[in-house]
Amino acid sequence: MKADIAQRLIALNRQFYTDFGGPFSVTRGRIQPGVRRILDSLKGDESILDLGCGNGELARTLARDGHRGAYLGLDFSLPLLADAESVPEGFPAEFRQVDLTQLPGISMTGDWRLVTAFAVLHHIPSQSLRLDILRTIHEILSPGGRFIHSNWQFLNSPRLRQRVRNWSEAGLTGADMDRNDYLLDWRSGGIGLRYVHHFSGEELAELAASSGFKVVETFYSDGKEGNLAVYQKWKKQ
């Protein structure tokens, strides 16, 4: 994918989460079953860097669980971050407005034992940008640290397949895109458009190897059939 096309897709998604951050936040009032499974596997003292923290529901759940480690959530959407501030007192949470596509150029000091990115990577266009972000995550993780992420498997849902739109609606063409790139619509509080990539297992394995990680666990969860997202745990090599 050409760099200028990637930037147009980034701008498309940025506009979506600016315009529809409020309605989107309403649909994210609880964590997904797959995320719950991840949290149940934690010791409770991990320092967590949460990429694409959204409205802060993960932080609120950690607080209710009695998590003791430091937490930093990053997201570019101010409407979502405004909701994220409602974390119970006493939980060591901090939130920052950060565009994750700029993460490689941001100083991220801290002893991060765990980095999470739930429903985030599928919004990052181009192999090049994904690798830049993943290599940065590898760099800031503590030795032996873990990166845990989920990615939407919307093609497993007949209902969501109907949300796929023609690229012409965003002023683009299919020839501009990489394989498995899609344009999906949003129908709550108005009509919006988002860029989404549908990852295959082979793609994820290649990304892990190319960024210095080892895949240690893969499972599917979420949705009526339990297959609406693929979750992976990677370990820093």
Model confidence pLDDT, tens digit, residues 150-194: 999 999 999 999 999 999 999 999 999 999 999 999 887 788 999
Q: Looking at the predicted structure, is the pLDDT value of residue 203 above 90?
A: yes
Instruction: Assess if residue 124 is contained within a domain.
Output: yes
**Model pLDDT for residues 64-90, shown as the tens digit of each residue:** 999 999 999 999 888 888 887 777 777
Identify the residue with better confidence: 217 or 186. 217
Per-position DSSP letters for 134-202, written without gaps between them:
HHHHHHHEEEEEEEEEEEE-GGG-HHHHTTEE-GGGGT--GGGSPTTEEEEEE-SSS-EEEEEE---HH
Q: Looking at the predicted structure, is the pLDDT value of residue 26 above 70?
A: no
Instruction: Assess if residue 187 is contained within a domain.
Output: no
Instruction: Assess if residue 210 is contained within a domain.
Output: yes
- CATH number of the domain residue 207 falls in: 3.40.50.150
Instruction: Assess if residue 185 is contained within a domain.
Output: no
Q: Looking at the predicted structure, is the pLDDT value of residue 27 above 70?
A: no
**Distance in angstroms (rounded) separating the CA atoms of residues 152 and 181:** 12
**Model pLDDT for residues 99-114, shown as the tens digit of each residue:** 998 887 776 767 899 9
Instruction: Assess if residue 26 is contained within a domain.
Output: yes
- Is the model's pTM score more than 0.75? yes
The per-residue pLDDT of the chain, averaged, comes to 91
26-62 burial, b for 16+ CB within 10 Å, e for fewer?
Answer: eebeebbebbeebbeebeeebbbbbbbbbbbbbbbeb
Instruction: Assess if residue 146 is contained within a domain.
Output: yes
Q: Which domain holds residue 113?
A: 3-154+198-236
Instruction: Assess if residue 99 is contained within a domain.
Output: yes
Q: What's the pLDDT score for residue 148?
A: 98
Q: What's the pLDDT score for residue 228?
A: 96
Give residues with Cβ within 8 angstroms of 206, minimum separation 6: none
Are the beta carbons of 78 and 17 closer than 8 angstroms?
no
For the chain, what is the domain count?
A: 1
Instruction: Assess if residue 83 is contained within a domain.
Output: yes
Number of other residues whose CB lies within 10 A of the CB of residue 217 = 13
**Model pLDDT for residues 112-123, shown as the tens digit of each residue:** 999 999 999 999
145-164 burial, b for 16+ CB within 10 Å, e for fewer?
Answer: bbbbbbbbbbebbeebeebe
